Amino acid sequence: MYHLFKSLYLHATSKEEYSILVLGLDNAGKTTLLEQVKASYGASHPNLKTVPTVGQNVATVSLPPPNPPIYLKIWDVGGQHSLRGLWQSYYASCHAIVFVIDSSDVGNASLEDLAAASANPGATPNPNIDTGRLDECRLVLESVLANEDASGVPILVLANKQDREDCVEVVRIKEGFVRRVFEGEKGGNVRDSRVLPCSALTGTGVLEAVEWLCSRVRWNKEARPPVMR
Ligand SMILES: Nc1nc2c(ncn2[C@@H]2O[C@H](COP(=O)(O)OP(=O)(O)OP(=O)(O)O)[C@@H](O)[C@H]2O)c(=O)[nH]1
Ligand SMILES: [Mg+2]
């Protein structure tokens, strides 16, 4: 009887916890995003003076009503080249991946140029077209998608730094780049994805990103069950 009451009590008082893995090239804005999420769901001010992450940062947020009563445990992992090998150890236990792109670092190419650049990655680059770190971004995103352990995980691509005057609009990142990657042969494991604009620095778009994640991890909970806390 004691065990029955105990399990009923634990069931009534525990909450589902989902792990969110935040990835992207160095300088994309991952740690700034984590700070904004912490500040949005806690009472603190965000610490926006970030330094390059060596290792990881982690924070757990509890979402207020009318959100469902769940915890999101957010893992922000360093994006420098030498640290990217660590990412794969997080895939098997994460419930969603956020891939952050610096929208001011994908050059000034047109939609057609971006599409051509991502459709023909091996082609000699046209010196008149600046595509910034787009190619590096594509290779890194493809390697995430190609990993078996990340198969079927909802993926949110955030076109970050939308506050900057030199940023590329989200539609260009979505149509010219992300769609090509997802529809390419390395994107076969993508089940559920979205591309959203945001500014981690100002906080614009951060709540919408968290809401999308919240709905998708719950929708996918049979495939990737939450941890009860
Ligand atoms: N203008 C603008 N700057 C941003 C935004 N997000 C981040 N930054 C700036 O970009 C720089 C890098 O931000 P971080 O959050 O440290 O980048 P990161 O992705 O964590 O980088 P690593 O830890 O090296 O992987 C900092 O100077 C931030 O202030 C944004 O939305 N807008
Ligand atoms: Mg960082």
Provide the ipTM: 0.99
Question: How far does residue 87's CA lie from ligand 2's centre (Å)?
Answer: 13
Predicted pLDDT at 3: 74
**148-186 as b/e: b if 16+ CB within 10 A:** eebeebbbbbbbbbbbeeebbebebbbbbbbbbbbeeeb
C-beta of residue 14 within 8 angstroms of C-beta of residue 35: no
Ligand with the closest atom to the CA of 52:
1
For atom 27 of ligand 1, the residue with the nearest CA is 50
- Cβ atoms within 10 Å, residue 55: 9
Residues written for the chain: 229
Averaged pLDDT, 95-123: 80
Predicted pLDDT at 112: 72
DSSP-derived 3-state class of residue 6: helix
Among 32-46, 108-122, 125-139, 206-220, which range has the highest average pLDDT? 206-220
Range name among 45-49, 135-139, 154-158, 189-193 with the lowest pLDDT average: 189-193
**CA atoms of 56 and 145, how far apart (whole Å):** 21
Residue 49 has pLDDT above 80, yes or no: yes
Question: In whole angstroms, how far apart are CA 120 and each of 25, 82, 113, 190?
Answer: 21, 26, 10, 21
Task: Supply the DSSP symbol for 83.
Answer: G
Q: Binding site membership: which residues?
A: 24-31, 53, 79, 160-163
Residue 158 has pLDDT above 90, yes or no: yes
- Residue 161 beta carbon below 6 angstroms from any ligand 1 atom: yes
Reported pTM: 0.92
Averaged pLDDT, 81-109: 94
Tell me which of 17 and 109 has the higher pLDDT. 17
**CA atoms of 8 and 149, how far apart (whole Å):** 33
Superfamily of domain 28-65+82-221: P-loop containing nucleotide triphosphate hydrolases (3.40.50.300)
Question: How far does residue 109's CA lie from ligand 1's centre (Å)?
Answer: 22
DSSP-derived 3-state class of residue 186: helix
- Cβ atoms within 10 Å, residue 17: 17
Residue 114 has pLDDT above 70, yes or no: no
Cis-peptide, bond into residue 121, ω within 30° of zero: no
Mean model confidence pLDDT for the chain: 89
**CA atoms of 196 and 65, how far apart (whole Å):** 23
Give domain limits for the chain: 28-65+82-221
Q: Which of 52, 160, 47 is CA-nearest to residue 99?
A: 160
Averaged pLDDT, 38-61: 93
Indicate which atom in ligand 1 lies nearest the CA of residue 32: 15
